[in-house]
């Protein structure tokens, strides 16, 4: 059996299902031009992925294996590889619309074998008694907990392999059936290095172990270090979801309340599950026939962090500068975007998709639909966050706000949570709020009611 092991969202050697298959193998990673052509040359994610791919190559070499790195259209690349006598291509599941369509096209060239890896449960594993997918999280969560077993903690071990004989040097560019070997550098694929500072996942887990006890109490507070910071590692598979689950089980045995964090991991599964079963959620409302009002000036002000609402602008600045954003701030920003500004949620989702290092299509899309009140969600459209009350509660001393908006450091924290002050007093170098929250929220409610 000659297999192509296609690494994608599983950039690691440890606990990787692909490497549990023996035989003659060709491990590959493909820099997909269908995705890369739409990205700016300084995209932080590409730098992160490139760095992790090189680390993966070195890890495979330490195990007596290798990694052949391609640049091009995956379909064209597998047409070339098919002619070399491979029996199948093996890859872990990837469930967004583009990935599913791409994999179907590849399966018409070579036998395609999915390995479950990225999420806890398989998409068809947690279903109602009638075989249909759940639409509400709580019953999904209860069913998932009932189904959760030792099998979901399985650790995959490295099988013995024979490495397919070929050149593993540089980056193999395939374009119109022509092969060219490029230097193993990020500029070979049209990007320049812009690597974010991200710690090793095992270092993060050790740090999170000390915070896990207080996770449920502290996770929403912006002046506290309470979250795991593992979302980017789960997104690109630099850590196995099963190894994280095994960590949680060990902590639970030690008496730590792990249920709140486990619930968040199940929520991550739920959103991927929904996008798998309802792919049109990627662009279409599940309920309510409204899509917001297109206003390019408002959109530009939001994207440039010039709304005049400190917590919102701080969140956008964090996103632009670091590629990250605290989860509580993501909800505040999305609510302000879809309700106070009445902009289309699809615009906000695309903006986040452009900059988030941990961008996951399912989590981002479904979260934006949740904020807009248009998704698979029992909550109604009239759920609207007050950004000033949110910042007062979760960033009382404005530590987060002042970190990302230094021009506000001399302003008393109470005033940064006071809309009336910000509307009537000039803060040098910072704009006044572009909307009055009460008026904007009333306008949003009226707009939505008209379209129900």
Q: Are β-strands 161-163 and 111-115 bridged in parallel, bridged antiparallel, or unpaired? A: unpaired
Interval 288-315: pLDDT, tens: 777 789 999 999 999 999 999 999 999 9
Average pLDDT across the chain, whole number = 94
Average pLDDT over residues 381-389: 91
Residues 6 or more apart whose Cβ sits within 8 Å of residue 14: 240, 243
Q: Which residues of 281-316 are buried (b: 16+ CB within 10 A; e: fewer)?
A: bbeebeeeebbbeeeeebbebbbebebbbbbbbbbb
- 3-state percent helix, strand, coil for the chain, nearest multiple of 5: 50, 10, 40
What does the pLDDT read at residue 450? 82
Q: Calculate the alpha carbon distances from 25 to 22, 57, 85, 238 in Å.
A: 8, 14, 12, 21
Average pLDDT over residues 223-248: 95
Distance (Å, rounded) from C-alpha 330 to C-alpha 172? 39
CA gyration radius for the chain? 23
Interval 259-292: pLDDT, tens: 999 999 999 999 999 999 999 888 888 877 777 8
pLDDT band of residue 141 (cuts 50, 70, 90) is very high
What does the pLDDT read at residue 127? 97
Does the pLDDT value for residue 379 go beyond 80? no
Does the pLDDT value for residue 217 go beyond 80? yes
Does the pLDDT value for residue 378 go beyond 70? no
Q: Which one of 3.30.160.270, 3.30.750.24, 3.30.530.20, 3.40.50.620 gives the CATH number of domain 2-117+158-182? A: 3.40.50.620
Task: List strand residue ranges (DSSP E) for 93-159, in order.
Answer: 111-115
Type and span of the H or E element at 70? strand 68-72
Interval 91-131: pLDDT, tens: 998 888 889 899 999 999 999 999 999 999 999 999 999 99
What does the pLDDT read at residue 292? 87
Please state the pTM of the whole predicted model. Answer: 0.93
Interval 335-365: pLDDT, tens: 999 999 999 999 999 999 999 999 999 999 9
User: Where in the chain is CATH 1.10.579.10?
Assistant: 296-450
Quick one: tokens of 434?
């572009």
Distance (Å, rounded) from C-alpha 71 to C-alpha 34? 10
Contact 89, 242 (CB under 8 A): no
Tell me how crowded residue 318 is: count the other CB atoms within 10 A of its CB: 22
Tell me yes or no: is domain 296-450 CATH 2.40.50.110.
no
User: Where in the chain is CATH 3.40.50.620?
Assistant: 2-117+158-182
Interval 30-79: pLDDT, tens: 999 999 998 999 999 999 999 999 999 999 999 999 999 999 999 999 99
Interval 181-197: pLDDT, tens: 999 999 999 999 999 88
pLDDT band of residue 135 (cuts 50, 70, 90) is very high
pLDDT band of residue 155 (cuts 50, 70, 90) is very high
């Amino acid at each position: 059996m000659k297999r192509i092991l296609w690494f994608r969202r599983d950039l690691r050697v440890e606990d990787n299902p692909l490497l549990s298959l023996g035989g003659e193998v060709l491990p590959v990673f493909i820099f997909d031009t269908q995705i890369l052509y739409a990205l700016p040359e300084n995209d932080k994610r590409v730098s992160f992925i490139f760095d992790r791919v090189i680390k993966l190559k070195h890890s495979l070499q330490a195990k007596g294996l290798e990694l052949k790195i391609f640049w091009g259209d995956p379909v064209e690349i597998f047409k070339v590889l098919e002619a070399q006598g491979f029996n199948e291509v093996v890859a872990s599941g990837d469930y967004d619309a583009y990935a599913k369509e791409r994999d179907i096209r590849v399966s018409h060239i070579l036998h395609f074998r999915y390995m479950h890896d990225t999420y806890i449960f398989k998409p068809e594993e947690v279903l109602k008694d009638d075989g249909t997918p759940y639409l509400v999280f709580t019953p999904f969560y209860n069913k998932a907990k009932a189904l959760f077993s030792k099998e979901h903690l399985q650790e995959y071990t490295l099988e013995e392999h024979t490495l397919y004989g070929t050149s593993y040097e540089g980056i193999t560019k395939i374009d119109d059936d022509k092969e060219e070997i490029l230097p193993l550098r990020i500029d070979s694929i049209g990007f320049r290095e812009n690597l974010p500072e991200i710690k090793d996942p095992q270092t993060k887990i050790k740090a999170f172990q000390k915070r896990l006890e207080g996770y449920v109490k502290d996770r929403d507070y912006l002046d506290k270090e309470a979250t795991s910071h593992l979302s980017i590692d789960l997104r690109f598979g630099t850590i196995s979801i099963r190894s994280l689950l095994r960590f949680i089980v060990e902590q639970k045995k030690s008496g730590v309340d792990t249920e709140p964090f486990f619930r968040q991991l199940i929520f991550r599964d739920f959103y991927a599950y929904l996008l798998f079963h309802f792919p049109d959620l990627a662009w279409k409302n599940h309920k309510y026939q409204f899509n917001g009002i297109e206003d390019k000036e408002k959109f530009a002000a939001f994207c440039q962090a010039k709304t005049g609402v400190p917590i919102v602008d701080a969140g956008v600045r964090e996103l632009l500068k670091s590629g990250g954003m605290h989860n509580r701030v993501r909800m505040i920003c999305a609510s302000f975007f879809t309700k106070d500004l009445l902009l289309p949620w699809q615009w906000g989702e695309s903006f986040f998709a452009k900059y988030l290092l941990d961008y996951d299509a399912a989590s981002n899309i479904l979260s934006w639909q949740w904020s807009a009140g248009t998704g698979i969600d029992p909550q109604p459209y009239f759920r609207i966050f007050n950004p000033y009350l949110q910042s007062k509660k979760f960033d009382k001393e404005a530590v987060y706000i002042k970190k990302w908006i230094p021009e506000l450091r001399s302003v008393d924290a109470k005033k940064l949570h006071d809309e009336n002050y910000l509307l009537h007093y000039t803060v040098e170098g910072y704009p006044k709020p572009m909307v009055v929250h009460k008026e904007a929220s009333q306008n949003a409610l009226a707009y939505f009611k008209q379209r129900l």
